Amino acid sequence: MEIFAERTQLALDLVGVFFFAVTGALLAARKGFDVVASALLAGMTGLGGGVVRDVIIGVRPAALEHPVYLAPVLLAVGVVYLYYPHVSRFRRTLLLFDAAGLGLFCVTGTAKALAADVPAVSAALLGVTTAVGGGLLRDVVAREVPSLFRYDDIYALPAMVGAAATAVLWRLDALSVWTGVAASVVTFTLRALALRYSWRAPLAYRRQAPDG
């Protein structure tokens, strides 16, 4: 079963890989890694989420079959090598590219899981996995506090919205390139607004009154 045409899926994927790979290369530069480590971290960040999704679904990862997936990784490493931003803009640059990757991958990840006949709820969760997996891998291997768990601003929630929207659109037979890209843009916008206005979700436990 096909959700997006193969070339569309590939094109959206490559753009998403590029966005995430930039965040990996930026972090590598920030941490003083060399250019080879930068390529490895960029590759893990850009391809990690999709590989984990494909391995869980049980299909051979697209990045393995099509070595063209390495192109956006190398491009990202080169761009960061040449234009590593001034430290004061580093964090915002990384977070915006991360948000762009999040927006694309929650939609394409859900679509790919639906195409593999996974139940819609699980497909949406695999979309979230695709979207947050690469960044989590990046932060864990580079020994950073995962963005996923920082309390400053919501991170996974926008991806959940985008993935759920994709699954619902598909159920309504209304998932196309245009509605998919719209879901991506909504996700990106929600995440960017969360960053700008420090939107937060409730804590993991009910705060108790000082006397309670």
CA proximity to 201, closest of 158, 164, 168, 144: 158
Among 102, 126, 131, 190, binds a second copy (CB under 8 A): 126
Residue-wise DSSP of 41-75: HHHHHHHHHHHHHHHHHTS--HHHH-GGGHHHHHH
202 scored as a contact of a second copy (CB under 8 A) = yes
Angle CA 184–199–87, to nearest 5: 80
Q: Which stretch binds a second copy (CB under 8 A): 8-16, 31-39, 171-179, 182-190?
A: 31-39
Site size toward a second copy, by CB under 8 A: 59
| Angstrom distance (rounded) from CA 122 to CA 164 | 10
Cβ-based nearer residue to a second copy, 10 or 182: 10
The answer to whether the beta carbons of residues 42 and 135 sit under 8 Å apart is no
| DSSP element (H, E) containing 27 | helix 6-30
203 scored as a contact of a second copy (CB under 8 A) = yes
Q: How far is the CB of 82 from a second copy (least distance, A)?
A: 6
Rounded to the nearest 10 degrees, the angle between the axes of helix 120-141 and helix 87-115 is 150
154 scored as a contact of a second copy (CB under 8 A) = yes
| Contacting a second copy within 39-98 (CB under 8 A) | 40-41, 51, 55-61, 63-65, 67, 70, 77, 80-82, 84
Among 28, 100, 131, 169, binds a second copy (CB under 8 A): 28
Q: How far is the CB of 93 from a second copy (least distance, A)?
A: 13
Q: How far is the CB of 62 from a second copy (least distance, A)?
A: 11
132 scored as a contact of a second copy (CB under 8 A) = yes
| Angstrom distance (rounded) from CA 70 to CA 47 | 9
Rounded to the nearest 10 degrees, the angle between the axes of helix 156-171 and helix 177-197 is 160
25 scored as a contact of a second copy (CB under 8 A) = yes
| Angstrom distance (rounded) from CA 23 to CA 83 | 13
Enumerate binding residues for a second copy (CB under 8 A): 25, 28-29, 31-38, 40-41, 51, 55-61, 63-65, 67, 70, 77, 80-82, 84, 118-119, 121-122, 125-126, 132, 136, 140-143, 145-146, 148-149, 151, 154, 156-157, 160, 200-206
